[in-house]
Amino acid sequence: MARIGLYKSDVKKARDALISQGVNPSVDAVRVALGNTGSKTTIHKYLKELEEEDGGARGKRSSISEALQDLVERLATRLEDEAQEQIAAARATSDTTAAEQAALLLAAQNDNAQQRSRVLELETALQEQGAALAASHSEHQRESTMRQVAEQQVADLQQRLAENEAYRLSLEEKHQHARQALEHYRQSVKEQREADVRRHELQVQQVQAELRLAQQAVAVKQDETTRLNQEGAKLVSELSHTKQNLYEQLTQVRKLEQKIDSLQSLQVHASDTERQLASKVAEVELLTEQLNNANDQMAPIKAQVRELELLLAQANAKAQAQEQIGEQLHAYLDKIAATSPIPEARK
């Protein structure tokens, strides 16, 4: 039988396309070109009509086409008969299978009823297990809340401990800097004082040497003055010259006295430096005392942190035990669900 919608124009287009490609437009070729649709008898009929319309160009082949058409029609009839026989056999098999399926369906319905009762029992057990699981979950949440609170307290104490540790390190650093500054200051003061003492001693030695020289010169001049007084008026000019030299020596003595005064001021400055050094030492001792107080304050905080860490470890152990109980309960429920054909019954 021809497919619905197969027209003569479709066969003509397929035939013309095959001819343009150099292919013989046989019934099979045209049917393939049409997408393996349509009855070969209908296609053959349309091809024959198209050949008659085309004229005598294909007159010699018309008799052959008619013979082939008859052969194709007989083959088509035979194929159709065989197909009908196969369809009848398939229908008989289908009826037998349907009867078997109906019997299986009835058995499945009976089994389904039994499974429903079992499902009710399992649902009751599941509800009881769910209630127990909810209680366990509530306990687990309470333990989790307590653990979070403990963790927060530990975190706060650890933060305070870190702040105290930072303050202690800062005090230690200040103490170290103060010690270094004090040591440096002591060393510099000591070096300055030793240099001042050495310079003072050197200046005193120089002054003493110059004083001895001046005294010697004065003694010499005094001897010369005595001798000049004995000599009389002839040595007046020399006496005047000697007086001028004596004045210069006295001027030098006054300069040396000024240097001695400056050395005394240096001694006063050294005394001030020693007082500043004592103040620095007192400041270092105060910082040391503050550092010891900070360490004493940190001791109870560290003990409290250790206690909270112990409580946190206990809470974690208890939470792990609760989680293990929950996992075992879930495994038990999964095992019950795996052994029960609940999904098939619900389908």
Q: Give the confidence band of 346 by pLDDT, cuts at 50, 70, 90.
A: very low
The residues, any chain, with a CB within 8 Å of residue 94's CB and separated by 6 or more, are none
**Between the CA atoms of 259, 265, 267 and 270, what dihedral angle is there, to the nearest 10 degrees?**
-130
Nearest to 16 by CA among 40, 53, 67, 50: 50
Least confident of 39-43, 86-90, 198-202, 224-228: 224-228
What are the residue boundaries of the structural domains of the chain, listed by start? 8-94, 121-346
Tell me the mean pLDDT in the region 270-288: 78
Q: How many CA atoms lie within 13 A of 69 on its CB side?
A: 15
Q: Give the confidence band of 345 by pLDDT, cuts at 50, 70, 90.
A: very low
Q: Average model confidence (pLDDT) for the chain?
A: 79
Q: Structure tokens of 340? A: 């029960």
pLDDT digits (tens, 9 = 90+) for 284-318: 788 778 778 877 877 777 787 778 788 878 878 87
* Rounded to 5°, angle at Cα 150 from 147 and 153: 150
Tell me the mean pLDDT in the region 237-241: 71
Please tell me the pTM assigned to this model: 0.27
pLDDT of 62 above 60: no
Nearest to 25 by CA among 42, 13, 9: 13
Other CB atoms within 10 Å distance of the CB of residue 25: 21
Q: Decide if 301 contacts 163 (C-beta within 8 A).
A: no
Q: Give the confidence band of 4 by pLDDT, cuts at 50, 70, 90.
A: low
Least confident of 66-75, 156-165, 272-281, 301-310: 66-75
More confident residue, 180 or 344: 180
CATH topology of domain 121-346: Helix Hairpins (1.10.287)
Q: Decide if 302 contacts 172 (C-beta within 8 A).
A: no
**pLDDT in the model for residue 63:** 54
In the block, which residue shows the tokens 């001897």?
Answer: 223
CA distance to 7, 24, 28, 49, per residue, from 19 (Å): 19, 6, 14, 16
**pLDDT in the model for residue 317:** 83
